[in-house]
Amino acid sequence: MESIIELISQIPDVIWGAIFALSGVLLANKNNKNNQVMLLEHEKQKYQSEQNLALKKEVFLDVARSFADVLGIIPNLMNLEFTQKDIETKMADHSGIVAKSYLVAKESSVVEILNYSAETGEVFIKLMKERGVVLGHKEAKESYQSTINSAEKKQDRIILRMQELNHQGNNNQAIFNDLNESYDTQKLIIKKNTESLYEKESIFESSYRLFAEECINDYSKLLSLLSPMAIALREELGNDQDSQVFIDALNNDIQRMRVAFNNLLEE
């Protein structure tokens, strides 16, 4: 032990200085390397976070747009000229767009999306069934009107034929009797179908009004149920401001819409 101490004591100061300097450099290099690794890891995490947020933003914006398109179908259902093809076109990509959100959203957000999807699905099944009944009344009404129009055209042709016979001086009573009988038959068809038409129009107007009210009620309902899903997605995008402002504005918009529609029905 004494020999080791004696050996160390014989090392010149300049050597000790070099050793200490080298140790400092090695230590500094090690610290720099550790700092660089930590910096790279931080930048990596930051980049991944930004990429994840950008992906969520893209997916959630598509989800919002798709649900808006689907909800927009409901008022259009009141337009009975709005076809099944029009509906399918509007909803074509909806399922796929919503399914993408399951891959990037938090579990709690996925629950809200699934709940809202279920609500919209149930509403659409109900409304499409009720719309089918209204369309049935509309088609029956149009069928009666078509029969009336056809009978009236036949009456016009019968009258024209009678005029032609008179102009030709044809006094064959059997022909005129047949024409008069055919005319009376068409007159009876018009009478019966007109009565049926009036009855069907009354049923149609009543069922259509109820259906229109149902559309607005369900549209309002789905809008009011939109808040939990919208808030969940807003929070995932970092937009966690006071959600009550959003809820109040949405409810106010729903109320104004209902008032406007009720006024329209009254008119």
Report percent pLDDT > 90 for the chain: 49
Using the structure block, give the residue that is written with the tokens 């969520």.
56
For residues 195-218, one letter each, b for 16 or more C-beta atoms within 10 angstroms of the residue's C-beta and e for the rest, the string is: ebbeebbeebeebbeebbebbbeb
> What are the tens digits of pLDDT across the range 182-230?
999 999 999 999 999 999 999 999 999 999 999 999 998 998 888 889 8
Predicted local distance difference test score (pLDDT) of residue 5: 52
Using the structure block, give the residue that is written with the tokens 């969940």.
232
Question: Exposed, middle or buried: residue 7 (CB in 10 Å: 0-12, 13-18, 19+)?
Answer: exposed
H/E element, 81: none
Closest CA to 218 of 131, 136, 135, 132: 131
Q: Give Cβ neighbours of residue 228 (< 8 Å, ≥ 6 apart).
A: 112, 115, 116
Using the structure block, give the residue that is written with the tokens 């400092």.
24
Question: Exposed, middle or buried: residue 193 (CB in 10 Å: 0-12, 13-18, 19+)?
Answer: buried
Predicted local distance difference test score (pLDDT) of residue 9: 56
* Residues 258 and 215: beta-carbon distance below 8 Å: no
- CB-facing half-sphere around the CA of 212: CA atoms within 13 A: 15
CA–CA dist 220, 73 (Å, integer)? 13
Predicted local distance difference test score (pLDDT) of residue 25: 59
> What are the tens digits of pLDDT across the range 100-138?
888 888 999 999 999 999 999 999 999 999 999 999 999
> What are the tens digits of pLDDT across the range 2-47?
555 555 555 565 555 655 555 555 566 666 666 665 655 555 555 5
CA–CA dist 70, 94 (Å, integer)? 8
CA–CA dist 187, 206 (Å, integer)? 29
User: How big is the CA angle at 142 (ends 141 and 148), to the nearest 5 degrees?
Assistant: 95
Note the pTM of the prediction, 2 decimals. Answer: 0.73
- List of domains in the chain: 12-266 (1.20.1270)
Q: Which carries the bigger pLDDT value, residue 240 or residue 209? A: 209
User: How big is the CA angle at 142 (ends 141 and 146), to the nearest 5 degrees?
Assistant: 120
